[in-house]
Amino acid sequence: MQKRILGKSGLEVSALGLGCMGMSFSYGPPKDKQEMISLLRTAVERGITFFDTAEVYGPFTNEELVGEALAPLRDRVVIATKFGFDTSVDPRAMKGSGPVLNSRPEHIREVAEASLKRLRTDVIDLFYQHRVDPAVPIEEVAGAVKELIREGKVKHFGLSEAGIETIRRAHAVQPVACVQNEYSLWFRRPEEGLLQTLEELGIGLVPYSPLGKGYLTGKMDEKTTFDSTDFRSTLPRFTPEALKANQAMVDLLGRIAAEKNATPAQIALAWLLAQKPWIVPIPGTTKLERLDENIGAVAVELTADDLREIDSAAAQITVQGNRYPEKLEQLTGR
């Protein structure tokens, strides 16, 4: 597995990471714990060193799973987790009035201490603010993480779905190693200033949902239905009408995949990897065959002509449907 360094932070990780959320949360019922432990350990054997979790996934159960699975391999992996939600409020409330945020410095410290225990480690490699809390100045958030870094409890600071000005202000207090944002052929908003800002400041980008929450794999159509425990059942982009309208994007990936003897998912990931050398996507999966398929994307080479062809074709496609309900969309870009 190739390695990449996230910006100027010196944080070296595998070119692809593994998003662990779906093993416990958001994509239907939690998966079998022993199967997921096996999958996580197999990922390490396959060369993946970068694992993404958060206290709110479950809540708590995903961190516990990742901690148990990776404890015997701790010196070989980089573990990222997140703070910023009030987990005393049922996370299912996110579907209704929206989640409750809490990035007060004392709460950040409480989360760090609890996450360290669940992750069975003495240091968090990368600690993200999950969503920007407008009630707490970002300078105070960065200062709280800076203190945890000084104490040796955290190694690197990250932000998720933060606005450009927020990133600049945070970075001035405590260098930001990377920003985690949704980014894929299906959602290209980071190209509207964010990528340029990260390049200027020397900050890495960790795209989540690089396969469009599964849509870009080509395994869905307008007849696809989602369980009520599946987060996608609430998303405007996953209505039957939107799934049908957006088929053109999957068709494009399928055409390129056929030329490259690859799969649509591999082309979608290879396209991301080709954008910048400091981009590290974190596709999630609960299946070994999908893990191997995703890893195969690292070996897919897209030439400059390929990338121009993809961009030209993608520019003709207007993606239908918002990515989040309004309450969740309001938490991004602040």
For the chain, domain boundaries? 3-329
Where does the pLDDT of residue 131 fall: very low under 50, low under 70, confident under 90, or very high at 90 and above? very high
| Predicted local distance difference test score (pLDDT) of residue 89 | 75
- pTM to 2 decimals? 0.96
Provide CB contacts within 8 A for 136, sequence distance 6+. 103, 104, 105
- Residue-wise pLDDT for 50-108, tens only, equals 999 999 999 999 999 999 999 999 999 999 999 999 998 765 554 555 789 999 999 99
- Average pLDDT over all residues of the chain: 95
- The rounded distance, in Å, linking the Cα atoms of 328 and 45 is 36
| Predicted local distance difference test score (pLDDT) of residue 96 | 52
Provide CB contacts within 8 A for 265, sequence distance 6+. 211, 216, 217, 218, 283, 290, 293, 294, 297
Given the residues 27, 57, 128, 215, select the one marked as catalytic. 57
End-to-end CA distance of the chain: 35
* 26 CB burial (10 A radius; 0-12, 13-18, 19+): buried
Q: According to the CATH classification, is domain 3-329 in 3.20.20.100?
A: yes
CB 23 within 8 A of CB 286: yes
- The rounded distance, in Å, linking the Cα atoms of 18 and 295 is 10
- Residue-wise pLDDT for 190-232, tens only, equals 999 999 999 999 999 999 999 999 999 999 999 999 999 999 9
57 catalytic residue (yes or no): yes
Would the CA dihedral through 194, 96, 111, 41 be positive or negative?
negative
Taking 80 as the threshold, does the pLDDT of residue 33 lie above it?
Answer: yes
Q: How many CB atoms lie within 10 A of CB 98?
A: 15
